[in-house]
Amino acid sequence: MVKRPSISIVGAGRVGSALAFLLHRKGYPLTGVASRTLASARRVADALQVPATLQPEIVTVRADVVFITTPDRVIAPVASKIRARRGFHSGQVVFHTSGAHTSEEVGAARRAGAYAASLHPLQSFATVETALKNLPGSYFALDGDPEAMPVARQIVKDLKGKILVISTKEKPLYHAAACIASNYLVALMHWATGLYDRFGLSREEAFQALWPLIRGTLNNIQHLGPTQALTGPIDRGDGPTLQGHLEAMAGIGRNDLALYCKLGLYTIQVALEKGSIRPEQGKQMEKIFWQGIASSRIRQKIKKR
């Protein structure tokens, strides 16, 4: 069996905890877990029988690989603090797991002779338990020092993942797309289930009613792709139905109306790409949505008076 490098985890949230458990199972020895509170560090460390600490440099200095899995806003300060306390060493690999930031966030490690990189799992971490189930097989976005890449690739391989190599300048766009696919999908489901409250269903009941539709749509996307999976009134060029939707949305609120219209405008482009509507049908529907947006702006001005 190939010997795996030792690792330390700095930040015992959902991402750090999941990585600690999964990599430990794959034979990576842990030197310890550090976190903002001792209680959160101990939740992971005690289960794996490794040290827990509030001082990350104590566990990072003994590791071959360091994962800084803190919130994005404190990655760079934490890395600088560890370096100032001599917690990094030459030849070490230091990763962060942010999707929005480049390897420069842990660039302080380079001044100690370590290699800096980012390894972002393209996955949703709602809880540690779901992360443990969802993380294997996911894609991982890599960027950073070339010397760190063999270690990164081995970790991804051990997690049965797949690799995306992202250039520094494309990282924000990569992460924005991930947010649309995951976070905004949650927001859309929250929006849709909330609308069903208007005719007496609780959010839980609304979700149960909508779930077969959601599941069917996701299956269609998986097997047909996001263009060919499109169905509904825009796909049919059904302007009168859309007009009825806008009238209903106007009774809900200007923000709901504006959002529905903006999503509709984007969906017209998908239908045109699919070839399910003619250009003139697209223009007719665009006119309906732009009128809806104008109406929402008028409502906003009236409200401000």
CB atoms within 10 A of CB 22: 18
Note whether 14 and 106 are same-domain residues.
Answer: yes
Cβ–Cβ < 8 Å for 110, 134: no
pLDDT of residue 141: 97
The answer to whether residue 92 is domain-embedded is yes
Same domain as 294, residue 246: yes
Same domain, 23 and 165: yes
Q: Count other Cβ atoms within 10 Å, centred on residue 164.
A: 14
Domain end: 146, 169, 192, which one? 169
Q: Would residue 2 count as lying in a domain?
A: no
Answer whether residue 1 is part of any domain: no
CATH number at residue 155: 3.40.50.720
Q: Is residue 120 in some structural domain? A: yes
Query: How many Å apart are CA 39 and CA 47, to the nearest integer?
Result: 12
CA distances (Å), 179 to each of 71, 122, 123, 186, 267, in order? Answer: 16, 10, 10, 10, 18
- Whether residues 165 and 207 share a domain: the answer is no
Domain end position, chosen among 110, 138, 169? 169
Task: Please indicate, yes or no, whether residues 247 and 267 belong to a single structural domain of this protein.
Answer: yes
- 162 and 29 part of one domain: yes
Strand partners, 140: 121, 163
Q: Are residues 189 and 62 in the same domain?
A: no
Same domain, 119 and 87: yes
b vs e for 238-270, b when ≥16 Cβ sit within 10 Å of the residue's Cβ?
eeeebeebbeebbeeebebbbbbbeebbebbeb
**Residue finishing a domain among 169, 191, 207:** 169
- Tell me, yes or no, whether 212 and 242 share the same domain: yes
> In this structure, are 192 and 293 located in the same domain?
yes
The answer to the question of residue 66 being in a domain is: yes
230 located within any domain: yes
- 0.75 cut: is pTM over it? yes
How many CB atoms are located within 10 Å of the residue 199 CB?
7
Residue from 11, 87, 72, 22 nearest 48 by CA: 22
The total number of structural domains in the chain stands at 2
Q: Is residue 174 part of a domain?
A: no
Domain holding 207, by residue range, is 181-304
pLDDT tens for each residue of the chain, 305 residues long: 578 999 999 999 999 999 999 999 999 999 999 999 999 999 999 999 999 999 999 999 999 999 999 999 999 999 999 999 999 999 999 999 999 999 999 999 999 999 999 999 999 998 999 989 999 999 999 999 999 999 999 999 999 999 999 888 999 999 999 999 999 999 999 999 999 998 899 999 999 999 999 999 999 999 999 999 999 999 999 999 999 999 999 999 999 999 999 999 999 999 999 999 999 999 999 999 999 999 888 756 556 55
Query: Does one domain contain both 193 and 256?
Result: yes
* Residue 238 and residue 121 share a domain: no
User: Across the beta sheet with 93-96, what order do the strands follow?
Assistant: 52-53, 30-34, 7-10, 65-68, 93-96, 115-121, 139-144, 162-165
In a domain, 88, yes or no: yes
d(CA 51, CA 154): 25
Give 136's contacts (C-beta < 8 A, 6+ positions apart): 22, 159, 160, 161
